[in-house]
C-alpha cells in the first residue's frame, strides 16, 4: 500500500525542518512543521509554553496534533524531537506514513542548535552534556524506528534525496 505521508523524527538539530522543506518542494507535497503549528495555534513560543503551561501540556498538544496529522495525506511532517516519548505517536504515524529517524553526533547537534534560545530543554550551561544525556535517555526510542538516516556531513538536499529514494523504493 502506498504510504500517505513522510514523517521525520529525530533529536533536535538533526535537520528535520530543513530536510522536510526540501522533500516537500521536490515531491510537491505540503510541508508541516509541528513545532511551528503548535506555536501559531498557542500564540506563544515554545519556551513560554514550557514555562507557563508545563512540559506535560506541550506533550498533550503534540499528541493531539499527531492524531490530526496522521489522518492527512501528501504531507511531509517535521516532528519535535520529543515525539518518540509517547509510543502511540509513532504507532499513529507508522499506520499511514513512512517514518524516518534522522541521526547526528552530539557535536554536530551542538553546532547546529547551540546558539538557538528557542529550545527550553537546552537552556543550560553544559549544552553538550545535556544533549548527550537526552540522547542516551531516548536512544532506545529513536533506535526502534525502522528507517534510519545518518545526517553527519550531509547537506539537507543530500539527506532529502536519500529519503525520497527510500520512499519510492519502499512503495513501488
State in angstroms the smallest separation of the CB of 171 from ligand S3P: 26
DSSP 2: -
State in angstroms the smallest separation of the CB of 131 from ligand S3P: 10
State in angstroms the smallest separation of the CB of 101 from ligand S3P: 12
How far is CA 119 from its chain centroid? 13
- Looking at the Cβ atoms of 5 and 89, the one nearer to ligand S3P is 89
Residue whose C-alpha is closest to residue 141's, from 79, 95, 96:
79
Cα 66 to Cα 93: distance, rounded to the nearest angstrom: 7
Q: What are the beta bridge partners of residue 149?
A: 102
- Does 35 participate in binding ligand S3P (rule CB under 6 A)? yes
- Does 80 participate in binding ligand S3P (rule CB under 6 A)? yes
Cα 95 to Cα 108: distance, rounded to the nearest angstrom: 31
State in angstroms the smallest separation of the CB of 33 from ligand S3P: 8
Instruction: Report yes or no: 29 and 122 within 8 Å, Cβ to Cβ.
Output: no
- Does 120 participate in binding ligand S3P (rule CB under 6 A)? yes
Residues that bind ligand S3P (CB under 6 A): 12, 16, 35, 46, 80-82, 119-121
Amino acid at each position: 500500500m502506498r504510504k500517505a505521508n513522510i514523517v521525520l523524527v529525530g533529536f533536535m538539530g538533526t535537520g528535520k525542518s530543513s530536510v522536510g522543506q526540501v522533500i516537500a518542494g521536490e515531491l510537491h507535497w505540503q510541508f508541516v512543521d509541528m513545532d511551528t503549528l503548535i506555536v501559531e495555534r498557542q500564540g506563544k513560543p515554545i519556551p513560554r509554553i514550557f514555562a507557563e503551561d508545563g512540559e506535560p501540556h506541550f506533550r498533550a498538544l503534540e499528541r493531539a496534533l499527531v492524531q490530526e496529522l496522521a489522518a492527512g495525506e501528501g504531507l511531509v511532517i517535521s516532528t519535535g524531537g520529543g515525539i518518540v516519548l509517547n509510543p502511540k505517536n509513532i504507532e499513529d504515524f507508522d499506520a499511514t506514513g513512512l517514518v524516518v529517524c534522522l541521526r547526528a553526533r552530539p557535536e554536530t547537534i551542538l553546532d547546529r542548535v547551540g546558539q538557538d534560545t528557542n529550545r527550553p530543554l537546552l537552556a543550560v550551561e553544559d549544552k553538550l552534556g545535556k544533549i548527550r544525556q537526552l540522547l542516551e535517555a531516548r536512544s532506545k526510542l529513536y533506535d526502534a524506528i525502522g528507517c534510519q538516516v545518518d545526517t553527519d556531513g550531509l547537506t539537507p538536499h543530500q539527506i532529502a534525496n536519500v529519503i525520497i529514494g527510500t520512499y519510492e523504493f519502499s512503495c513501488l
